[in-house]
Structure 1
Amino acid sequence: MPFTTRHKVRFQHCDPAGIVFYPRYFEMINAVVEDWFAEVVGHDFSTLHVTSRTSVPTASLETDFHAPSRLGETLTFELAVRAVGRTSLALRIVARCGDQPRLTCDATLVFVDLESGRPLPWPETMRHHFVIDCPRGCPDE
């Protein structure tokens, strides 16, 4: 079952035409990932970065924008795990306003040591929360 959260489109997200400026979507996507780590995985970014000295940088993003989002709308974001590697994690994040899709993003995160910048294997305390969710079938990885 995907992780779901909602974000209101604020003035700070919009260009002069009142629609979301596409780089702001990536900030929203990062907020969704951060909320998921805190609420589902049980490791908030403060614990990861400050206490554990680890991080989950984005290694790749592929995003399709389906329709513009406007100031004042509320977007529902769904995050689903597509695949789990030894050090990486493939996610799909979909944003909708009501029933209308606004974006689909396939992202790959890598678990790394902040000091060396080198990938680390996912700890079992995190890995067991990475339930693969492919309701419409996962694409071949």
Structure 2
Amino acid sequence: MSYDRTIAIEFCHCDPAGIVFYPRYAEMVNHMVENFFIDRVGYSFGRMMDEGYGMPTARLEIDFRKPARLGDRLDWRLTVEHVGRSSARFLICAEDRLEARSTVVWMDRGFVPAPWPDHIRPILETHHA
């Protein structure tokens, strides 16, 4: 099962040539993970932080396939590629423009890796490709 979302390319995403400035793609990848947690997991980053937990990105790989331009609307897709004891790897694609893998780690209140909570793990496993 995948999570899909459309992101419009706006002026703030672009460099003077009118194409997406590559670090903005990292922000969009994080946008996909964050909104997956809001929409599918039902657990926002804000709530996570309020409760003393965290989920930092431990690894990020991005392959840039072709440029996106101001005004484009890209269809993004997130799938869960791997679920570990305390980590998960997401495969995130934006049409034919980009393919990314983002690995996150669940952190407990002491900011040390901890097993996925019982209310999150089953949802990640449901979205596992």
TM-score under structure 1 normalisation?
0.87
Change (3 A) 1:27 1:39: same
CA distance in 2, matches of 1:46, 1:37: 11
**1:122 alignment counterpart:** 116
CA distance in 2, matches of 1:90, 1:32: 13
Task: Could you tell me which runs of 5 or more consecutive residues in structure 2 were left unpaired when the two chains were aligned.
Answer: none
When the two chains are superposed, the root-mean-square deviation of aligned CA atoms in Å is: 1.0
TM-score under structure 2 normalisation?
0.95
**1:48 alignment counterpart:** 48
Q: Is the CA contact (8 Å cut-off) linking 1:83 and 1:132 kept in structure 2?
A: no
CA distance in 1, matches of 2:33, 2:127: 15
Once the two structures are TM-superposed, the CA of residue 55 in structure 1 deviates from its matched residue by: 1.1
Q: Is the CA contact (8 Å cut-off) linking 2:83 and 2:128 kept in structure 1?
A: no
AA paired with 1:109? V
Bigger RCO of structures 1 and 2 (CA < 8 A, at least 6 apart): 2
CA distance in 1, matches of 2:49, 2:68: 32
> What is the aligned length?
128
SS in 2 for 1:124: coil
